[in-house]
Amino acid sequence: MFFGLLEPYSFLYERAFRADEATFEHAELEHVLDENGVRVRRLIHLAIELGERRPELVEQVRHRILRIVRYTGPRVMVEASRRALRRNLDRFDGETLFNILLLRPSVHLERHAGARVILPTVELHTPLANLYFMRDQQALSATGYLIGRMSKPQRREEPVLTGALLRAWGAPIVARVRAPGTFEGGDFIPMGDFVLLGTGDRTNAGGVRQVLASPIGVDEVAVVHQPSHPALPGGRPDPMIDMHLDTYLNIPGEGLAVGCAPLLDRARTEVYRRRGGGAMVRDAKSVTLREFLTSKGFEVIPISTIEQLSYAANFLCLRDRRILAIDVEEELDRVLEGLAVAARRNPRRYGALFAMVRKERATLREGAGYFPRTAAIRDHGIEAVPIALPEITGGYGGAHCMTCAVRRSRP
Protein backbone atom coordinates (compact mmCIF):
# COMPACT_ATOMS: atom_id res chain seq x y z
CA MET A 1 0.00 0.00 0.00
CA PHE A 2 2.81 2.42 0.89
CA PHE A 3 4.25 2.34 -2.63
CA GLY A 4 0.82 2.73 -4.20
CA LEU A 5 0.37 5.96 -2.25
CA LEU A 6 3.52 7.40 -3.81
CA GLU A 7 1.82 7.41 -7.23
CA PRO A 8 -1.92 6.66 -6.72
CA TYR A 9 -2.96 7.11 -10.35
CA SER A 10 -0.38 4.70 -11.76
CA PHE A 11 -1.19 2.13 -9.10
CA LEU A 12 -4.92 2.32 -9.98
CA TYR A 13 -5.95 3.98 -6.72
CA GLU A 14 -8.87 6.38 -6.72
CA ARG A 15 -7.14 8.88 -4.45
CA ALA A 16 -4.46 9.21 -1.80
CA PHE A 17 -5.33 8.26 1.78
CA ARG A 18 -3.83 7.85 5.24
CA ALA A 19 -2.07 4.49 5.44
CA ASP A 20 -2.20 4.22 9.24
CA GLU A 21 -5.98 4.75 9.31
CA ALA A 22 -6.43 2.39 6.35
CA THR A 23 -4.52 -0.32 8.20
CA PHE A 24 -6.75 0.16 11.23
CA GLU A 25 -9.86 -0.04 9.04
CA HIS A 26 -8.64 -3.27 7.46
CA ALA A 27 -8.17 -4.80 10.91
CA GLU A 28 -11.67 -3.61 11.85
CA LEU A 29 -13.09 -5.28 8.72
CA GLU A 30 -11.45 -8.53 9.78
CA HIS A 31 -12.79 -8.11 13.33
CA VAL A 32 -16.38 -7.49 12.20
CA LEU A 33 -16.27 -10.51 9.90
CA ASP A 34 -15.01 -12.65 12.76
CA GLU A 35 -17.80 -11.37 15.02
CA ASN A 36 -20.30 -12.45 12.38
CA GLY A 37 -19.06 -16.01 12.19
CA VAL A 38 -16.71 -15.67 9.21
CA ARG A 39 -13.30 -17.24 9.61
CA VAL A 40 -10.74 -14.90 8.05
CA ARG A 41 -7.35 -15.99 6.76
CA ARG A 42 -4.76 -13.39 5.80
CA LEU A 43 -2.85 -14.28 2.68
CA ILE A 44 0.60 -13.91 4.25
CA HIS A 45 -0.34 -16.15 7.18
CA LEU A 46 -1.66 -18.78 4.79
CA ALA A 47 1.58 -18.56 2.77
CA ILE A 48 3.76 -19.05 5.87
CA GLU A 49 1.61 -21.94 7.09
CA LEU A 50 1.79 -23.67 3.72
CA GLY A 51 5.54 -23.14 3.58
CA GLU A 52 5.95 -24.91 6.90
CA ARG A 53 3.86 -27.86 5.69
CA ARG A 54 5.04 -27.99 2.08
CA PRO A 55 8.84 -27.72 1.69
CA GLU A 56 8.52 -28.22 -2.08
CA LEU A 57 6.42 -25.03 -2.27
CA VAL A 58 9.17 -23.06 -0.52
CA GLU A 59 11.66 -24.46 -2.99
CA GLN A 60 9.49 -23.26 -5.88
CA VAL A 61 9.37 -19.79 -4.30
CA ARG A 62 13.16 -19.71 -3.97
CA HIS A 63 13.58 -20.52 -7.66
CA ARG A 64 11.10 -17.79 -8.57
CA ILE A 65 12.93 -15.28 -6.38
CA LEU A 66 16.15 -16.01 -8.25
CA ARG A 67 14.35 -14.86 -11.41
CA ILE A 68 12.79 -11.80 -9.76
CA VAL A 69 15.79 -10.32 -7.93
CA ARG A 70 18.35 -8.95 -10.36
CA TYR A 71 21.72 -7.36 -9.72
CA THR A 72 23.44 -4.79 -11.91
CA GLY A 73 26.78 -3.05 -11.59
CA PRO A 74 30.40 -4.24 -11.80
CA ARG A 75 30.50 -7.82 -13.05
CA VAL A 76 32.50 -9.23 -10.14
CA MET A 77 30.16 -7.63 -7.59
CA VAL A 78 27.07 -8.81 -9.46
CA GLU A 79 28.31 -12.41 -9.57
CA ALA A 80 29.20 -12.32 -5.87
CA SER A 81 25.76 -10.95 -5.01
CA ARG A 82 24.00 -13.62 -7.03
CA ARG A 83 25.99 -16.34 -5.28
CA ALA A 84 25.18 -14.80 -1.91
CA LEU A 85 21.46 -14.69 -2.70
CA ARG A 86 21.45 -18.39 -3.67
CA ARG A 87 23.34 -19.21 -0.49
CA ASN A 88 21.15 -17.08 1.77
CA LEU A 89 17.75 -18.12 0.42
CA ASP A 90 17.78 -21.17 2.69
CA ARG A 91 18.04 -18.83 5.68
CA PHE A 92 15.13 -16.57 4.76
CA ASP A 93 11.97 -17.12 6.76
CA GLY A 94 8.50 -17.35 5.22
CA GLU A 95 7.64 -13.70 5.75
CA THR A 96 10.84 -12.56 4.04
CA LEU A 97 10.20 -14.82 1.05
CA PHE A 98 6.60 -13.57 0.81
CA ASN A 99 7.69 -9.93 0.95
CA ILE A 100 10.19 -10.48 -1.87
CA LEU A 101 7.33 -11.81 -4.01
CA LEU A 102 5.22 -8.83 -2.95
CA LEU A 103 7.79 -6.09 -3.51
CA ARG A 104 9.80 -7.58 -6.44
CA PRO A 105 13.13 -5.87 -5.66
CA SER A 106 16.34 -5.62 -7.66
CA VAL A 107 19.66 -4.10 -6.61
CA HIS A 108 22.11 -1.86 -8.49
CA LEU A 109 25.62 -1.86 -7.01
CA GLU A 110 28.02 1.07 -7.34
CA ARG A 111 31.58 0.86 -6.03
CA HIS A 112 33.39 3.85 -4.51
CA ALA A 113 36.91 4.26 -3.24
CA GLY A 114 37.57 2.75 0.18
CA ALA A 115 36.99 -0.50 2.04
CA ARG A 116 33.44 -1.82 1.52
CA VAL A 117 32.21 1.55 0.25
CA ILE A 118 29.43 0.25 -1.96
CA LEU A 119 26.25 2.16 -2.75
CA PRO A 120 23.33 -0.28 -3.21
CA THR A 121 20.27 1.18 -4.91
CA VAL A 122 17.13 -0.92 -4.57
CA GLU A 123 14.53 -0.75 -7.32
CA LEU A 124 11.08 -2.32 -6.94
CA HIS A 125 9.55 -3.69 -10.14
CA THR A 126 5.84 -2.85 -9.81
CA PRO A 127 5.23 -3.97 -6.22
CA LEU A 128 1.82 -5.54 -5.69
CA ALA A 129 0.22 -2.50 -4.07
CA ASN A 130 -3.32 -3.63 -4.97
CA LEU A 131 -3.09 -7.08 -3.43
CA TYR A 132 -5.31 -6.11 -0.49
CA PHE A 133 -8.16 -6.17 -3.00
CA MET A 134 -8.41 -9.97 -2.85
CA ARG A 135 -11.58 -10.36 -4.95
CA ASP A 136 -10.16 -9.84 -8.40
CA GLN A 137 -7.34 -12.37 -8.85
CA GLN A 138 -9.81 -15.27 -8.91
CA ALA A 139 -13.49 -16.19 -8.61
CA LEU A 140 -15.11 -19.08 -6.77
CA SER A 141 -17.59 -20.96 -8.94
CA ALA A 142 -19.83 -23.85 -7.93
CA THR A 143 -17.07 -26.33 -8.84
CA GLY A 144 -13.92 -24.45 -7.85
CA TYR A 145 -11.75 -21.44 -8.59
CA LEU A 146 -11.30 -19.64 -11.87
CA ILE A 147 -7.83 -18.08 -11.73
CA GLY A 148 -7.95 -14.77 -13.54
CA ARG A 149 -5.61 -12.73 -15.67
CA MET A 150 -5.60 -9.08 -14.68
CA SER A 151 -6.33 -6.44 -17.29
CA LYS A 152 -3.73 -3.96 -16.04
CA PRO A 153 -0.02 -4.86 -16.04
CA GLN A 154 0.30 -3.27 -12.59
CA ARG A 155 -1.67 -6.24 -11.23
CA ARG A 156 -0.61 -8.99 -13.62
CA GLU A 157 1.54 -10.88 -11.08
CA GLU A 158 -1.19 -11.09 -8.41
CA PRO A 159 -3.04 -14.19 -9.73
CA VAL A 160 0.31 -15.96 -10.09
CA LEU A 161 0.80 -15.61 -6.34
CA THR A 162 -2.77 -16.25 -5.17
CA GLY A 163 -3.32 -19.10 -7.63
CA ALA A 164 -0.18 -20.90 -6.47
CA LEU A 165 -1.18 -20.55 -2.81
CA LEU A 166 -4.75 -21.71 -3.41
CA ARG A 167 -3.52 -24.71 -5.37
CA ALA A 168 -1.00 -25.60 -2.65
CA TRP A 169 -3.75 -25.27 -0.05
CA GLY A 170 -5.75 -27.91 -1.90
CA ALA A 171 -8.45 -25.60 -3.25
CA PRO A 172 -10.01 -26.90 -6.48
CA ILE A 173 -8.86 -24.98 -9.57
CA VAL A 174 -11.18 -25.53 -12.55
CA ALA A 175 -9.60 -23.13 -15.05
CA ARG A 176 -7.00 -20.43 -15.56
CA VAL A 177 -7.64 -17.59 -18.00
CA ARG A 178 -4.81 -17.22 -20.52
CA ALA A 179 -3.59 -14.35 -22.72
CA PRO A 180 -4.94 -12.49 -24.57
CA GLY A 181 -7.99 -13.03 -22.39
CA THR A 182 -8.47 -11.06 -19.18
CA PHE A 183 -10.83 -11.92 -16.33
CA GLU A 184 -11.21 -10.38 -12.87
CA GLY A 185 -13.27 -11.72 -9.99
CA GLY A 186 -15.22 -8.52 -9.42
CA ASP A 187 -16.99 -9.27 -12.70
CA PHE A 188 -18.22 -12.70 -11.51
CA ILE A 189 -21.39 -12.98 -9.41
CA PRO A 190 -22.66 -16.54 -8.77
CA MET A 191 -26.46 -16.69 -8.47
CA GLY A 192 -27.12 -20.33 -7.71
CA ASP A 193 -28.30 -21.90 -10.97
CA PHE A 194 -26.75 -19.18 -13.13
CA VAL A 195 -23.89 -16.70 -13.14
CA LEU A 196 -23.60 -13.01 -13.96
CA LEU A 197 -20.38 -12.25 -15.82
CA GLY A 198 -19.36 -8.64 -16.46
CA THR A 199 -17.29 -7.58 -19.43
CA GLY A 200 -15.65 -4.25 -20.21
CA ASP A 201 -12.43 -2.58 -19.13
CA ARG A 202 -11.24 -5.39 -16.85
CA THR A 203 -12.75 -8.60 -18.29
CA ASN A 204 -12.48 -8.74 -22.07
CA ALA A 205 -14.21 -10.83 -24.74
CA GLY A 206 -11.42 -13.40 -24.72
CA GLY A 207 -11.80 -13.85 -20.98
CA VAL A 208 -15.56 -14.24 -21.36
CA ARG A 209 -15.08 -16.99 -23.96
CA GLN A 210 -12.71 -18.87 -21.67
CA VAL A 211 -15.07 -18.63 -18.69
CA LEU A 212 -17.99 -19.83 -20.83
CA ALA A 213 -15.90 -22.84 -21.86
CA SER A 214 -14.91 -23.66 -18.26
CA PRO A 215 -16.64 -26.25 -16.03
CA ILE A 216 -18.19 -23.77 -13.58
CA GLY A 217 -21.19 -25.91 -12.67
CA VAL A 218 -24.01 -23.90 -14.27
CA ASP A 219 -25.85 -24.10 -17.57
CA GLU A 220 -26.70 -20.41 -17.86
CA VAL A 221 -24.45 -17.35 -17.88
CA ALA A 222 -25.62 -13.77 -18.38
CA VAL A 223 -22.81 -11.68 -19.89
CA VAL A 224 -23.27 -8.07 -18.80
CA HIS A 225 -21.59 -5.35 -20.86
CA GLN A 226 -20.11 -2.44 -18.94
CA PRO A 227 -22.62 0.42 -19.23
CA SER A 228 -22.01 4.12 -19.60
CA HIS A 229 -23.76 6.37 -17.11
CA PRO A 230 -26.46 8.47 -18.83
CA ALA A 231 -24.99 11.66 -17.32
CA LEU A 232 -21.79 11.12 -19.32
CA PRO A 233 -21.86 12.35 -22.92
CA GLY A 234 -20.99 10.14 -25.86
CA GLY A 235 -22.01 6.76 -24.45
CA ARG A 236 -18.44 5.82 -23.52
CA PRO A 237 -18.15 3.98 -20.16
CA ASP A 238 -15.91 5.39 -17.45
CA PRO A 239 -14.17 2.48 -15.69
CA MET A 240 -13.73 4.48 -12.50
CA ILE A 241 -17.52 4.75 -12.22
CA ASP A 242 -18.32 1.08 -12.81
CA MET A 243 -15.01 -0.75 -13.06
CA HIS A 244 -16.47 -4.18 -12.20
CA LEU A 245 -19.96 -5.60 -12.09
CA ASP A 246 -19.81 -5.68 -8.28
CA THR A 247 -19.35 -1.91 -8.16
CA TYR A 248 -22.97 -1.32 -9.22
CA LEU A 249 -24.82 -4.58 -8.47
CA ASN A 250 -24.91 -7.04 -5.57
CA ILE A 251 -27.18 -9.64 -4.01
CA PRO A 252 -28.23 -9.25 -0.33
CA GLY A 253 -30.47 -12.32 -0.21
CA GLU A 254 -32.71 -14.73 -2.05
CA GLY A 255 -34.74 -12.95 -4.72
CA LEU A 256 -33.26 -9.51 -4.00
CA ALA A 257 -30.73 -7.34 -5.83
CA VAL A 258 -29.26 -3.94 -4.96
CA GLY A 259 -28.18 -1.88 -7.93
CA CYS A 260 -27.71 1.56 -9.43
CA ALA A 261 -30.83 2.05 -11.56
CA PRO A 262 -29.32 4.18 -14.37
CA LEU A 263 -26.60 1.57 -14.91
CA LEU A 264 -28.89 -1.47 -14.65
CA ASP A 265 -31.12 0.06 -17.32
CA ARG A 266 -28.20 0.59 -19.70
CA ALA A 267 -26.20 -2.60 -19.13
CA ARG A 268 -26.72 -4.74 -22.24
CA THR A 269 -27.00 -8.38 -21.21
CA GLU A 270 -26.54 -11.43 -23.43
CA VAL A 271 -27.77 -14.76 -22.08
CA TYR A 272 -25.85 -17.96 -22.85
CA ARG A 273 -27.41 -21.38 -22.22
CA ARG A 274 -25.91 -24.82 -22.50
CA ARG A 275 -27.51 -26.84 -25.24
CA GLY A 276 -27.72 -30.59 -24.84
CA GLY A 277 -24.86 -30.72 -22.36
CA GLY A 278 -22.48 -29.15 -24.87
CA ALA A 279 -21.27 -25.61 -25.58
CA MET A 280 -22.93 -22.44 -24.33
CA VAL A 281 -25.13 -20.83 -27.00
CA ARG A 282 -26.20 -17.18 -26.94
CA ASP A 283 -29.86 -16.21 -27.07
CA ALA A 284 -30.75 -14.19 -30.14
CA LYS A 285 -32.13 -11.23 -28.19
CA SER A 286 -30.23 -9.19 -25.63
CA VAL A 287 -31.93 -7.47 -22.69
CA THR A 288 -30.99 -4.94 -20.04
CA LEU A 289 -29.59 -6.21 -16.76
CA ARG A 290 -32.69 -5.02 -14.93
CA GLU A 291 -34.91 -6.92 -17.38
CA PHE A 292 -32.85 -10.06 -16.91
CA LEU A 293 -33.00 -9.87 -13.11
CA THR A 294 -36.75 -9.29 -13.23
CA SER A 295 -37.20 -12.30 -15.51
CA LYS A 296 -35.43 -14.39 -12.86
CA GLY A 297 -37.84 -13.21 -10.16
CA PHE A 298 -35.47 -10.75 -8.48
CA GLU A 299 -36.78 -7.56 -6.94
CA VAL A 300 -34.35 -4.70 -7.45
CA ILE A 301 -33.71 -2.27 -4.60
CA PRO A 302 -32.44 0.87 -6.35
CA ILE A 303 -29.58 3.00 -5.09
CA SER A 304 -28.66 6.45 -6.33
CA THR A 305 -25.53 7.25 -8.29
CA ILE A 306 -23.94 9.04 -5.34
CA GLU A 307 -24.51 5.94 -3.19
CA GLN A 308 -23.13 3.69 -5.92
CA LEU A 309 -20.01 5.85 -6.25
CA SER A 310 -19.67 5.58 -2.45
CA TYR A 311 -19.46 1.76 -2.62
CA ALA A 312 -23.03 0.99 -1.54
CA ALA A 313 -23.21 -2.03 -3.85
CA ASN A 314 -19.81 -3.32 -2.76
CA PHE A 315 -21.11 -5.10 0.34
CA LEU A 316 -20.60 -8.64 1.60
CA CYS A 317 -23.57 -10.96 2.00
CA LEU A 318 -22.87 -12.75 5.29
CA ARG A 319 -25.98 -14.89 5.04
CA ASP A 320 -29.46 -14.52 3.55
CA ARG A 321 -30.54 -10.88 4.11
CA ARG A 322 -27.64 -9.98 6.38
CA ILE A 323 -24.94 -7.83 4.82
CA LEU A 324 -21.73 -6.12 5.86
CA ALA A 325 -22.04 -2.78 4.08
CA ILE A 326 -19.94 0.34 3.64
CA ASP A 327 -21.32 3.26 5.63
CA VAL A 328 -22.04 5.49 2.65
CA GLU A 329 -22.34 8.68 4.69
CA GLU A 330 -18.67 8.32 5.67
CA GLU A 331 -17.65 8.18 1.98
CA LEU A 332 -19.66 11.02 0.46
CA ASP A 333 -17.34 13.95 1.04
CA ARG A 334 -14.30 12.25 -0.49
CA VAL A 335 -16.27 10.99 -3.48
CA LEU A 336 -17.70 14.44 -4.14
CA GLU A 337 -14.26 16.04 -3.80
CA GLY A 338 -12.83 13.70 -6.40
CA LEU A 339 -15.72 14.23 -8.78
CA ALA A 340 -15.49 18.00 -8.32
CA VAL A 341 -11.84 17.88 -9.42
CA ALA A 342 -12.79 15.79 -12.46
CA ALA A 343 -15.58 18.24 -13.35
CA ARG A 344 -13.21 21.22 -13.17
CA ARG A 345 -10.65 19.50 -15.37
CA ASN A 346 -13.16 18.18 -17.89
CA PRO A 347 -16.51 19.93 -17.44
CA ARG A 348 -17.93 18.59 -20.69
CA ARG A 349 -17.53 14.98 -19.58
CA TYR A 350 -18.12 15.21 -15.83
CA GLY A 351 -20.02 18.46 -15.25
CA ALA A 352 -23.53 16.99 -15.60
CA LEU A 353 -22.64 13.97 -13.46
CA PHE A 354 -21.25 16.18 -10.70
CA ALA A 355 -24.35 18.37 -10.72
CA MET A 356 -26.58 15.30 -10.56
CA VAL A 357 -24.85 13.65 -7.60
CA ARG A 358 -24.81 16.93 -5.65
CA LYS A 359 -28.56 17.10 -6.11
CA GLU A 360 -28.93 13.46 -5.10
CA ARG A 361 -26.99 14.06 -1.93
CA ALA A 362 -29.23 16.93 -0.91
CA THR A 363 -32.33 14.84 -1.58
CA LEU A 364 -31.08 11.88 0.42
CA ARG A 365 -29.95 14.05 3.30
CA GLU A 366 -33.39 15.62 3.58
CA GLY A 367 -35.37 12.43 3.03
CA ALA A 368 -34.65 8.71 2.86
CA GLY A 369 -31.11 8.73 4.27
CA TYR A 370 -28.03 6.95 2.96
CA PHE A 371 -27.41 3.27 2.29
CA PRO A 372 -27.54 0.99 4.23
CA ARG A 373 -29.60 2.97 6.76
CA THR A 374 -32.65 3.30 4.53
CA ALA A 375 -36.29 2.34 4.78
CA ALA A 376 -35.98 0.23 1.63
CA ILE A 377 -33.36 -1.97 3.29
CA ARG A 378 -35.41 -2.35 6.46
CA ASP A 379 -38.67 -2.94 4.58
CA HIS A 380 -37.12 -5.86 2.71
CA GLY A 381 -36.00 -7.51 5.94
CA ILE A 382 -32.31 -6.91 5.30
CA GLU A 383 -30.16 -6.66 8.41
CA ALA A 384 -27.24 -4.39 7.63
CA VAL A 385 -23.98 -4.22 9.58
CA PRO A 386 -22.50 -0.83 8.60
CA ILE A 387 -18.73 -0.41 8.58
CA ALA A 388 -16.81 2.82 8.01
CA LEU A 389 -13.83 2.44 5.63
CA PRO A 390 -13.32 6.01 4.38
CA GLU A 391 -9.53 5.78 4.03
CA ILE A 392 -8.87 2.31 2.63
CA THR A 393 -11.57 2.71 -0.02
CA GLY A 394 -9.21 5.27 -1.56
CA GLY A 395 -7.64 2.34 -3.36
CA TYR A 396 -10.99 2.04 -5.18
CA GLY A 397 -12.93 -0.81 -3.62
CA GLY A 398 -15.13 -1.76 -0.70
CA ALA A 399 -15.65 -4.75 1.58
CA HIS A 400 -16.58 -7.06 -1.30
CA CYS A 401 -13.45 -6.13 -3.26
CA MET A 402 -11.20 -6.72 -0.24
CA THR A 403 -12.20 -10.34 0.36
CA CYS A 404 -11.85 -13.63 -1.50
CA ALA A 405 -14.49 -16.22 -0.65
CA VAL A 406 -13.02 -19.62 0.21
CA ARG A 407 -16.28 -21.44 0.87
CA ARG A 408 -19.87 -20.39 0.36
CA SER A 409 -23.22 -22.09 0.82
CA ARG A 410 -26.87 -21.43 0.11
CA PRO A 411 -29.57 -21.52 2.84
11-47 per-position pLDDT tens digit: 999 999 999 999 999 999 999 999 999 999 999 999 9
CB 371 within 8 A of CB 309: no
Q: How far is CA 320 from the centre of its chain?
A: 23
CB 306 within 8 A of CB 324: no
The mean pLDDT value for 195-206 works out to 98
Angle separating helix axes 55-68 and 75-88, nearest 10 degrees: 170
Whether 322 and 203 share a structural domain: yes
400, part of any domain: no
State the Cα–Cα distance between residues 45 and 42, nearest whole angstrom: 5
CB 395 within 8 A of CB 133: yes
404, part of any domain: no
Q: Which of 124, 141, 174 is the last residue of a domain?
A: 124
52, part of any domain: yes
Whether 105 and 248 share a structural domain: no
pLDDT(411) > 60: no
Record the pTM.
0.95
The pairing of beta strand 322-326 with beta strand 105-111: unpaired
Whether 103 and 228 share a structural domain: no
Whether 87 and 160 share a structural domain: no
CB 259 within 8 A of CB 300: yes
Whether 207 and 96 share a structural domain: no
Whether 237 and 326 share a structural domain: yes
Whether 62 and 16 share a structural domain: no
Beta strands in 133-190 (DSSP E): 138-140, 145-147, 173-176, 188-190
Whether 171 and 111 share a structural domain: no
116, part of any domain: yes
**Average per-residue pLDDT in the chain?**
96
410, part of any domain: no
pLDDT(277) > 80: no
The boundaries of the domain holding residue 114 are 46-124
State the Cα–Cα distance between residues 318 and 91, nearest whole angstrom: 41
300, part of any domain: yes
pLDDT at 116: 84
The mean pLDDT value for 124-139 works out to 97
Question: 151-168: per-residue pLDDT in tens?
Answer: 999 999 999 999 999 999
Strand order in the sheet with 105-111: 71-72, 105-111, 118-124
Whether 193 and 120 share a structural domain: no
Q: What is the tally of structural domains in the chain?
A: 2
State the Cα–Cα distance between residues 311 and 99, nearest whole angstrom: 30
406, part of any domain: no
Whether 160 and 291 share a structural domain: yes
Whether 144 and 285 share a structural domain: yes
149, part of any domain: yes
Whether 31 and 50 share a structural domain: no
The CATH code of the domain that includes 388 is 3.75.10.10
Question: 241-265: per-residue pLDDT in tens?
Answer: 999 999 999 999 999 999 999 999 9
State the Cα–Cα distance between residues 142 and 48, nearest whole angstrom: 28
